[in-house]
Amino acid sequence: GRTLRFILGDQLTRPISSLSDLDPERDVVLMVEVRDEATYVRHHKQKIAFLFAAMRHFAAGLEAEGVAVAYVRLTDPDNTGRFTGELERAIERYNPDRVVVTEPGEWRVLQMMQDWRETLSVPVDIRDDNRFLCPRQDFARWAEGRHHLRMETFYRGMRRRTGLLMDSGEPSSGRWNFDSENRKRLPKKHRPPDRIGFQPDSITREVIALVEQEFGDHFGDLAGFSWPVTRADALAALQHFLVHCLPIFGDFQDAMKTGAPFLYHALLSPALNAGLLTAEEVCWAAERTYRDGAAPLHCVEGFIRQILGWREYVRGLYWARMPDYRETNALEAGRDLPWFYWSGETALNCIAQVVSDTRAHAYAHHIQRLMVTGNFALIAGLDPAQVEEWYLIVFADAYEWVELPNVHGMVLWADGGVMGSKPYAASGAYIDRMSDYCAACSYDVKLKSGPDACPFNYLYWNFLIENEDRLAGNQRMTMPYRTLHGMADERRAEIRRDAAIFLASLSDPAPGHQGVQT
């Protein structure tokens, strides 16, 4: 009989499990552009354009192989706007014996798939996602009964399991970790390499026009769209990275520069997460660069750690801990997300720069996400749910499986320490050390109090004061709490006062905006 194979927008991988036994003579592959997926959060325009363009190119590739593809466009008159509605329509039209899918990247969609098993007239086969190096079940087994899930332990297991950067059972050159060599400042005149951008072809241009027309009021610009939307282009992006960026990647991994969010970063996360590249091939390609002597170990290890370690780890953690994971709020944070996360209109220059990069590219690199917008959200006590929605919206690589652990766990410590042993709170000094943002800021990063002081400075101490009951007992927080406890009462009062004035100003209604998100 005929099988209907449903491929979601982030499942654009030819060897994916749902296509493994494809019979091109009889089967139909279903792909759907649906309004629900574009608006359940109001994604950045480039994220929608990226996925629709990648979906259309992927469908064209299957058709070129002779596979029958039922492709539903957003503007098709009968489009129901929902995964379930489109699957039901396709079943009526093609009358398959069964439906085959690969498990999705979000809990929300897995619930839908499980409902399909109850409600559809044909059996539904939900297959494991074979694009990850650590199967969900293996992670779940490791995570069982543990409260703390430490990345480093997991990562070493993955190095052993895959043999990446291993020599006769030992880590290459005897060390697992080169983090300490990956924290250099960018020299003032340093010019990062030019990156290859991918000129939109006619298919992508059509999608960009569609997104402008249908989602014109979503956050973000489309003008600079240059993501790779085909596997061939994604492979070219990977190659460019390996040659021009990986040999320096580690050195400046944490550096931030005005108007230059890309630096030596891979820019591969949208392609990886949508399936245009696999984690496995990217890791082995990086390892080959090291074996060939074209990139040093500390850079290659730093890069492989991000994918083999962090990426696999957050995915495992997400599925092992959902749906409860999202509900915790260990620091009881509840302040509304300030308007400037959308507008960028703030005197905090670091935030203004990161929001501006994000609007232009649907991208900011890891340290911008972690130590600027993330750190501010943590020390200002912003509501986890609102912060998580922002991160899910604004980045082209965002899906809940990867966004949620990073934001809820790593940044906000809302999971109470499942992911990180202590909150990553930092004062302005960190941003000043790693970026050129402070020099152009109207606040003074060297001042600790008063209206001209960098707000990160007093918000940091205010955060420690507010969370004293929850954090003072944490071993890794001993140092900062010792300093806090040595402070005079007047100094504490000054911190409280500066913070209260600043935090109150966050809820001032933004001039000219009536709470509409653009």
Smallest gap from residue 467 Cβ to ligand SF4 (A): 21
Considering beta carbons, is residue 106 or 357 the nearer one to ligand DLZ?
106
What's the Cα-to-Cα distance from 78 to each of 33, 56, 73, 206, rounded to whole Å?
Answer: 12, 19, 10, 20
Cα 516 to Cα 149: distance, rounded to the nearest angstrom = 39
> Is 437:353 a contact under the CB 8 Å cutoff?
yes
104 binds ligand DLZ (CB under 6 A): yes
Written as six digits, the tokens of 272 are 């990886």
Count of beta carbons in the 10 Å neighbourhood of residue 440:
11
423 binds ligand DLZ (CB under 6 A): no
Site string for ligand DLZ, 252-281 (x = CB under 6 A): ------------------------------
Cα 34 to Cα 347: distance, rounded to the nearest angstrom = 39
Cα 302 to Cα 451: distance, rounded to the nearest angstrom = 40
> Is 381:444 a contact under the CB 8 Å cutoff?
no
User: Which partner, ligand SF4, ligand DLZ, ligand FAD, none, binds residue 307 by CB below 5 to 8 Å per kind?
Assistant: ligand FAD
9 binds ligand DLZ (CB under 6 A): yes
Count of beta carbons in the 10 Å neighbourhood of residue 105:
24
Give the interface with ligand SF4 as residue ranges (CB under 6 A). Answer: 348-350, 428, 431-432, 437-438, 441, 443, 445, 454, 456
Q: Which region, judged by CB under 6 A, interacts with ligand DLZ, from 30-38, 329-337, 459-467, 475-483?
A: 30-38
User: Which partner, ligand DLZ, ligand FAD, ligand SF4, none, binds residue 443 by CB below 5 to 8 Å per kind?
Assistant: ligand SF4
**Residue closest to 166 by CA, chosen among 300, 278, 322:** 300
Considering beta carbons, is residue 166 or 429 the nearer one to ligand SF4?
429
Cα 75 to Cα 93: distance, rounded to the nearest angstrom = 19
Report angle CA 414, 415, 416 to the nearest 5 degrees.
90
Smallest gap from residue 502 Cβ to ligand SF4 (A): 11
Smallest gap from residue 274 Cβ to ligand DLZ (A): 8
What is the identity of the amino acid at 79? N
User: Which partner, ligand SF4, ligand FAD, ligand DLZ, none, binds residue 8 by CB below 5 to 8 Å per kind?
Assistant: ligand DLZ
- Does the CA dihedral 62-276-273-136 come out positive or negative? positive
Considering beta carbons, is residue 302 or 428 the nearer one to ligand FAD?
302
Written as six digits, the tokens of 107 are 């809990």
Interface residue with ligand DLZ among 18, 56, 106, 365 (CB under 6 A) is 106
Written as six digits, the tokens of 102 are 């690969």
**Residue closest to 359 by CA, chosen among 183, 511, 499, 219:** 219
> Interface residues for ligand DLZ in 379-408 (CB under 6 A)?
399
User: Which partner, ligand DLZ, ligand FAD, ligand SF4, none, binds residue 272 by CB below 5 to 8 Å per kind?
Assistant: ligand FAD
Count of beta carbons in the 10 Å neighbourhood of residue 203:
17
Give the interface with ligand FAD as residue ranges (CB under 6 A). Answer: 265-269, 272-273, 303, 306-307, 310-311, 314, 365-366, 369-370, 374, 391, 395, 397-398, 402-403, 406-407, 410-411
Cα 307 to Cα 286: distance, rounded to the nearest angstrom = 11
Count of beta carbons in the 10 Å neighbourhood of residue 174:
7
> Interface residues for ligand DLZ in 433-492 (CB under 6 A)?
none
Smallest gap from residue 360 Cβ to ligand DLZ (A): 19
Interface residue with ligand DLZ among 10, 312, 397, 466 (CB under 6 A) is 10
Smallest gap from residue 440 Cβ to ligand SF4 (A): 8
**Residue closest to 99 by CA, chosen among 83, 86, 116:** 116
User: Which partner, ligand FAD, ligand SF4, ligand DLZ, none, binds residue 406 by CB below 5 to 8 Å per kind?
Assistant: ligand FAD
> Interface residues for ligand DLZ in 172-211 (CB under 6 A)?
none
**Coil, strand or helix: which one is 274?**
helix
List residues near ligand DLZ by CB under 6 A.
8-10, 32-34, 37-38, 43, 48, 51, 104-106, 109, 399
